[in-house]
Amino acid sequence: MATVERFTTTAEPRITGLANGRARIGKTLTARHRPGQWSPKPTSVRYQWRANGTAITGATRSTFTPRARHHGQRISVRVAVTRPGYETVRATSKAVVAAKSYTKAPRPKVVGTARVGQTLTARPGEWRASPRTFAFQWKRDGKPIKKATSRTYRLKKADRGKRITVTVVAQRKAYVLTHRTSAATAKVRWPVGVKHKPRITSQPKDATVNSGRTVTFSASASGGKLKYQWQRRTATGTWKNMSGKTSRSISVKATSKRTLWDYRLRVKNRAGTTFSRPALLVVNSTKTDPFRPGQWYAGKAHTQRISKSWNVRLREPDGADRKRWRTAAVLTACSPPGEPKPTLRRLDIRYTWRGPEPVWSERMEWAELQWRDGQCAAWTIYAGPGPRLAPGGMWQVRDKGKSGRYGKATQFVRGIP
């Protein structure tokens, strides 16, 4: 008996000539089979086209044209490969649906105004046969827009200056998937009345006032259809919207609690959002509305704070062997970033107790350097002897030195009640 060999490598044929993955009725299909992909190479190949797995009579060539009777059937091709001394092997392609073409496939239309914020609608038109469903893909200058796959599309800022089209895909069982793309819209423009993204034309100005005064910040912008929102910087450095403050200006009553607060105006329209520069509110406290101990306030060239007060017995500065009670507190000063470290040289430090006479000292010997760290320095300040030796008065600090960014220098800080 003769020994029959087997092919060690086989290959599946494939069908070409498809229309969007389907076999179009009346269009010739071709079985692509590469003998070189077999091992060893076969010497002959026979073809048999099949419909729904059943051989089609007379369809034994490498090409085949589906007819109307094949509509909706699954078409495949089987090849039989032979070689002398080898066992015959058969391989079948993947099946494809025999599909009809639509007799009428109109170009879709885009309805709507090509302006940012407006909604465009796709109208597929009257198809024959009628598709079961339509799929949509909106495009911006010919490129698909992510997630824009519904019948309507709302125009965005990214669409401005671009032309929009929609591609409609008709879907029906046993019909060729057909794509039709609309004509492009005109270039998308901003909404009516909007010329461009808001541009700040006048900035709010910093203000330095005494406690109790009303401060008005204002700004203006161009661009059209503007919406305003004032914001205040919180202690954590983030900006927070101020409820009801939605006009070009804002009025704030100055109090000791509001010193060194920042305000800015947010301006929006359909073209975008912009912000004014922050405006700094510096409030000089008064005897009726003093700063709280530990609160930062504005000195002449630094931000400063004073701690709560306490009593301490100290030796007299003239070296005499005696001690007297003083009222003390810690004064901390920090320079703005990029400025020299604080070096307060001429301070007028006064402490007013709850009585008719101030207890005060204006000499730096009464302000002892405690520590330095980066842009900050701290001093222990002392009030001289007076008729009453107890915390509960008010510190008054005046910097007599070089003029700085914060204007007035006299500040009041109440001691321990």
Tens-digit pLDDT profile for residues 257-315? 999 999 999 999 999 999 999 999 999 888 888 898 888 888 777 788 888 888 888 77
**Under 8 Å between Cβ of 398 and 294:** no
pLDDT (0 to 100) of residue 192: 93
pLDDT of residue 187: 96
Q: What is the pLDDT of residue 365?
A: 43
Phi-psi region of 366 (alpha: psi -120 to 50; beta: other; left: phi over 0): alpha
Beta strand 96-99 with 23-24: parallel, antiparallel or unpaired? parallel
Residue 354: per-residue pLDDT: 60
Euclidean distance between the first and the last CA atom of the chain, given in angstroms as a whole number: 120
- Token pair listed for 188: 């998308």
Residue 18 near residue 96, CB atoms below 8 Å: yes
DSSP code, position 158: G
Return the CATH number of the domain spanning residue range 199-284.
Answer: 2.60.40.10
- CATH 2.60.40.2700 occupies which residues in the chain? 14-99
- Of 112, 125, 105, nearest to 152 by C-alpha is 112
What is the Cα–Cα distance from 321 to 312, expressed in whole angstroms?
16
CA distance 172 to 165: 23
* Confidence at residue 362, expressed as pLDDT on a 0 to 100 scale: 42
CA dist., res. 371 & res. 308, Å (int)? 18
pLDDT for residue 403: 53
Identify the CATH assignment for 109-181 out of 2.60.40, 1.20.950, 3.40.50, 2.10.25.
Answer: 2.60.40
Q: Smallest Cα–Cα separation from 341: which of 376, 312, 299?
A: 376
- Kindly report whether the peptide bond that precedes residue 40 is cis, defined as omega within 30 degrees of 0: yes
CA atoms of 261 and 316, how far apart (whole Å) = 41
pTM over 0.75: no
27's tokens: 């269009």
What pLDDT does 344 receive? 64
| CATH 1.10.10 applies to domain 297-414 | no
Angstrom distance (rounded) from CA 398 to CA 412:
9
The CATH class of 14-99 is: mainly beta
For 141, 251, 284, 354, 399, the CA distances from 287, given in Å and listed in that order, are 67, 23, 10, 12, 18
DSSP E strand stretches across 206-302: 207-210, 214-218, 220-222, 227-233, 239-241, 249-253, 261-269, 272-275, 279-284, 297-298
Look at residues 154, 230, 228 and name the one whose alpha carbon lies nearest to residue 188.
154
Span 115-125, pLDDT tens digits: 999 999 999 99
Residue pair 95/75 in contact (Cβ under 8 Å)? The answer is yes
Domain with CATH 2.60.40.10 in the chain: 199-284
Low-confidence ranges of the chain (pLDDT < 70): 1-3, 316-321, 343-346, 354-373, 384-392, 399-410, 415-417
Query: Which position has the token pair 């800080």?
Result: 413
